Structure 1
Amino acid sequence: MARFIVLLRGINVGGHRKVPMAELRALGEGLGFTDVASYIQSGNLVLTAPGPAAAVEASLAQAIARRFGFEVDVLARTPAQWTGYMKDNPLRAAADAEPQRVMLVLAKAPPRADAVEALRARATTERLEASKGALWVHYPEGAGVSKLSPALWERCVGSPVTARNWSTVLKLAAMVEA
């Protein structure tokens, strides 16, 4: 059995693709996961499960499709991976100053080598960096006004992505250690 931080992409945004967290936790428990906890409504879980991350991702994605009737990209990371992302955050000063405006962006598959440069070419005020399989972005004016749309991120990165702000990154780290 291993601990995982699990992120769901694109649920409960603007009233679409609704997945109540109590039902998501129950779904995970029904799959045999233990110590299942959620954080806020955007699809963040911490849980214990047998097998590798890929098995957790696949089983949860299939269960969500059966239960809710739509596909959701699921990403699972180990506590060691999560700690590594935090330690290697190249935007740490900005994250400490504006934790809601610095995002950890994780991709379903390894990001393309030119992803950051492709995104930088379209950025206006955003600062983008890559570090050890993760992408980081600082939105000094807020993500809501950025021209870096989710579709653009995915085209540049080469696979589905999901992002969490620094505050959420820290909270999930604390949850997985508890």
Structure 2
Amino acid sequence: MLFLLRAVNGSGSNPCNMKRLVQLASDDLGWINVKTYLQSGNLVADVSASLSSDDASEALRQLLAKCMKVHCAVMVRTLSELNTLIENCPYDPSDPTKVHAFFLASSATQEGMDRLELKPKKDDRYTWDGSNNLYLQYPNGAGRSALNGTILEKSLGVQGTGRNWRSVLAVRDLLMG
């Protein structure tokens, strides 16, 4: 499973030491093949087949709060879900810094999408997959976009976290072993 932690850093606000997280997930949760990608809250692990995505997310969220004093949303995707996301990308990912995936904690609603439609976007584009992911295209870079995580979450009424396409492909490769 892929675990995407929202708004964590290696240092600064909401610090989360990824090396310690790997150890805790292995030792305290009994997960195997636990790995991280970068210091930005990307963790992959083999978890018990009897553990649902929701239960795994909650177990990691509680572990983070208890052992590391980190409070954040945790989005979970399986390899199959991630492969589907990658296969269905509507934008040209040849510049992987300009295409992002925004992973939602739960499915967006049409009402939330309607609110998002009212937001200023300039050249930026987004596509909803009809469920719990958005594809984002930032021709001028994500740092200059009005479609940041705060605007997306407020409009949709759902927590989420974004990753650029390079990170999406890297965590998929980690999941594949």
Query: Could you tell me the TM-score, scaled by structure 2's length?
Result: 0.91
What are the superposed Cα offsets for residues 45-85 of structure 1, whole Å, 9 maximum, x if unpaired? 11011111111100000010112223110011111111011
Give distance in 2, aligned partners of 1:162 and 1:129: 15
Give distance in 2, aligned partners of 1:166 and 1:106: 12
Deviation at 1:152, TM superposition (A): 1.5
Structure 2 counterparts to residues 117-128 of structure 1, below 5 A: 117-122=114-119, 123-128=121-126
Q: Give the match for residue 56 of structure 1.
A: 56
> SS at 2:101's partner residue?
strand
Q: Give the match for residue 7 of structure 1.
A: 4
2:98 corresponds, among 80, 85, 101, to 101
Deviation at 1:14, TM superposition (A): 7.4
> SS at 1:70's partner residue?
coil
Deviation at 1:117, TM superposition (A): 4.3
Structure 2 counterparts to residues 73-88 of structure 1, below 5 A: 73-88=73-88
> SS at 2:35's partner residue?
strand
Structure 2 counterparts to residues 1-178 of structure 1, below 5 A: 4-12=1-9, 15-29=12-26, 30-50=28-48, 51-91=51-91, 93=92, 95-96=93-94, 98-122=95-119, 123-133=121-131, 134-178=133-177
Note closer, same or farther for the CA distance 1:36–1:87 as it changes in structure 2 (3 Å cut).
same
Letter in 2 for 1:45: L
Note closer, same or farther for the CA distance 1:77–1:111 as it changes in structure 2 (3 Å cut).
same
Give distance in 1, aligned partners of 2:67 and 2:47: 20
Query: Could you tell me the TM-score, scaled by structure 1's length?
Result: 0.90
Q: Determine if contact 1:5/1:45 at 8 Å carries over to the other structure.
A: yes
Q: Percent identity?
A: 26
Letter in 1 for 2:20: E
The count of residues paired between Structure 1 and Structure 2 equals 172
> SS at 2:110's partner residue?
coil
Deviation at 1:113, TM superposition (A): 1.5
Q: Give the CA RMSD over aligned residues.
A: 1.5
> SS at 1:169's partner residue?
helix
Give distance in 1, aligned partners of 2:164 and 2:148: 16
Letter in 2 for 1:109: S
Q: Determine if contact 2:15/2:70 at 8 Å carries over to the other structure.
A: no
> SS at 2:108's partner residue?
coil
Gaps of 5+ in 2: none
Give distance in 1, aligned partners of 2:11 and 2:123: 25
Give distance in 1, aligned partners of 2:148 and 2:101: 15
Give distance in 2, aligned partners of 1:100 and 1:13: 21
What are the superposed Cα offsets for residues 18-56 of structure 1, whole Å, 9 maximum, x if unpaired? 101101111111211110000001010110111111111
Give distance in 2, aligned partners of 1:68 and 1:10: 14
Deviation at 1:101, TM superposition (A): 1.4
